[in-house]
Amino acid sequence: MSTITDTKTQATDAKAMPSSARRGGALAPRIVLLIVCVLWTIPTIGLLVTSVRTRDAASTSGWWTSLAFWDSNWTLSNYDKVIDGNDMGTAFLNSFIVAIPATVIPIMFAAFAAYAFTFMRFPGRDVLFIVIVALLVVPLQVAFVPMIKLLGPDGLDVIGQFLAVWLLHTGFGMPLAVYLLRNYMATLPLSVIESAEVDGATHFQTFWRLIVPMSVPALAAFAIFQFLWVWNDLLIALLFLGAGGENQVVTANLAQLNGRLGEGWQLLTAGAFITMVVPLIVFFSLQRFFVRGITAGSVKG
């Protein structure tokens, strides 16, 4: 009884607390968060400012000295040289050709697999799921030699083509996709699936009409992970598409902007900012699904 009385007393005290005190308590975390965001953004701002400065100005003074709007050292020549003179425009398009299918394909297959692991009963289901999740701890570097043999001239002979990186990114992204989507689907109400079965819906109809619309947060969360990974990947692109040629992606192009003797360092800032724009757009456009999709299924109850 005393516990109930104490609880009521604390609630009364909380209501009696002045609104200014409550606002003060909420203001401090916001100020700290704002400071952290500003500090986190400073390198990006410095990169952007440096990308629109001349080489001589960037070599003789800090980027913060050019924050004035009327600074005469501002120029877009770095972007012109990167896009037109170094084929960054073509590489930018190639990155889209690589990243979009390499994001959609694993999501599609993983969604079907997650549905089967969650709502269908078959022998060895749990063992197979554990094996797939265990693949998350396998470094992708250990698979390069067998993958080169499989996709090389002695195998499918697709090295240098977009198909090679689509297959690799799909295979390497599937374990995480199955794990995230299966955990999310396990939190969905089973009564909805049972009602669909009573109404005579097939698994295919249940999947497309019920599960997919309800799983949008998890699908978007993995899409962010996969797209950013594929877009920023350099190792797989170098090994299976090559450092040059018509299929070169932005990361491989960016690695070559510096030149052999570092004479093109001023172009790196413009090239780096170009490569950053798309990941930022993808993340901020899907961020409202991000936390919900990642945390779903991690806590029971």
Domain endpoint, select from 52, 75, 98: 75
Which has the closest alpha carbon to 253: 55, 78, 95, 54?
Answer: 95
**What confidence tens digit (pLDDT) does each residue in 205-252 have?**
889 988 988 888 888 888 888 999 999 998 899 889 887 778 889 988
Predicted pLDDT at 83: 80
Instruction: Indicate whether 235 and 105 sit together in one domain.
Output: yes
Please tell me which residue, 288 or 115, carries the higher pLDDT value.
Answer: 115
Domain stops at, among 75, 95, 128 = 75
Using CB atoms within 10 Å of the CB of residue 114, give its burial: 0 to 12 exposed, 13 to 18 middle, 19+ buried. buried
In a shared domain, residues 251 and 265: yes
Same domain membership, residue 177 and residue 110: yes
Percent helix, strand, coil in the chain (nearest 5)? 75, 0, 25
Pick the range with the lowest mean pLDDT from 8-12, 80-84, 146-150.
8-12
Cβ count within 10 A of residue 6: 10
Q: How many domains does the chain have?
A: 2
Q: CATH code at 143? A: 1.10.3720.10
- Predicted confidence at residue 283, as pLDDT, reads 80
Domain finish residue from 45, 75, 105: 75
Predicted pLDDT of residue 129: 92
| Top-confidence residue, 114 or 190 | 114
Together in a domain, 36 and 150: no
Handedness of CA 122, 123, 126, 132 (dihedral sign): negative
Kindly report the pTM of this predicted structure.
0.78
Domain span including residue 120 = 80-295
Q: Do 68 and 84 fall within a single domain? A: no
Query: Does 68 share its domain with 92?
Result: no
**Rounded distance between C-alpha atoms, residue 63 and residue 77, angstroms:** 17
Cα 204 from Cα 218, distance rounded (Å): 19
